Amino acid sequence: MAGFGLFKRLVGSERRLSEPRVRAPVATRVLVVDDSATIRAVLGKMLAQDGYEVLKAEDGEAALALARSEQPALIFLDIVLPGMSGFEVLRTLRREAATQHVPIVMISGNVQATEQFYVQRYGADDFMKKPFGREEVFERICQLVVAGRLPARTSTTEPGLPHGVSQAEWDAIPDIAMPDEAHAAPPVLGNS
C-alpha cells in the first residue's frame, strides 16, 4: 500500500509540474507563527521567493498583535507555542471582526488525528504537518486561491530578494522546514 501512495504522489507531482501554478498575488502579506526560528526562516524564505511579504511571530501574543496591526491575507500557525497555544490564537482570530475571515493553515510536528479534528473544529482552513517542503506549502496556497479564500495572481513578474536580506543570508537558509531539535516532537512509542 505504501508503494501505491508513493506512486500517486509521483504521478500527482508530475501532473502539477505540467500545469501552471495557481498563486496569490505578489506582495500578499503572510504571517508565519512558530516558536522554531528554523521553521520561521525556512517557511519565510519559501514564501518570499514566491513574492509574498512575510511577517513572523514566535508566540501567540506576538501573532495576535501582528494580525491586528498588519492585517495579513494568510496565516501559517503552529499549534504548539509557548504561552498561548495555536488553538487559542485561532479561536481569538476567528472571534475578532478584523481577522475572522483570514485563511489560517495550522502546522504541527505531531500528526495525531485529534489535532487535525480540533483544527477543523476551531475553524482553520487547512493543516500541514512538519517537516514540510516547498511543494506542500504552495499546494496549500493554491487550494486557498481555488476555493476563493485568496485572490489569484495575475502578474507574471518574478520577485527578487526580500528587502534587507543579502544573497549570502538568503542562501544559508535551507529549503526543507525541519523543526529545531529543541522543538521536535518526542518519538511515539508503540506497543510491541
Which contiguous run of DSSP H or E holds residue 148?
none
Q: Say which residues have a Cβ less than 8 Å from residue 50's Cβ, sequence separation at least 6.
A: 23, 138, 159
| In the block, residue with C-alpha cell 507531482 | 13
Which contiguous run of DSSP H or E holds residue 24?
none
Beta strands 53-57 and 29-33 are parallel
Amino acid sitting at position 178: M
Tell me the pLDDT of the chain (192 aa) as tens digits. Answer: 444 443 444 444 444 444 556 888 888 999 999 999 999 999 999 999 888 999 999 999 999 999 999 999 999 999 999 999 999 999 999 999 999 999 999 998 876 656 666 676 778 999 888 889 999 999 999 999 999 999 988 865 555 666 666 777 767 777 666 666 655 555 444 444
pLDDT value for 3: 45
User: Is the CATH code 3.40.50.2300 the one for domain 23-152?
Assistant: yes
pLDDT value for 122: 75
pLDDT value for 95: 95
pLDDT value for 117: 67
Contact 126, 146 (CB under 8 A): no
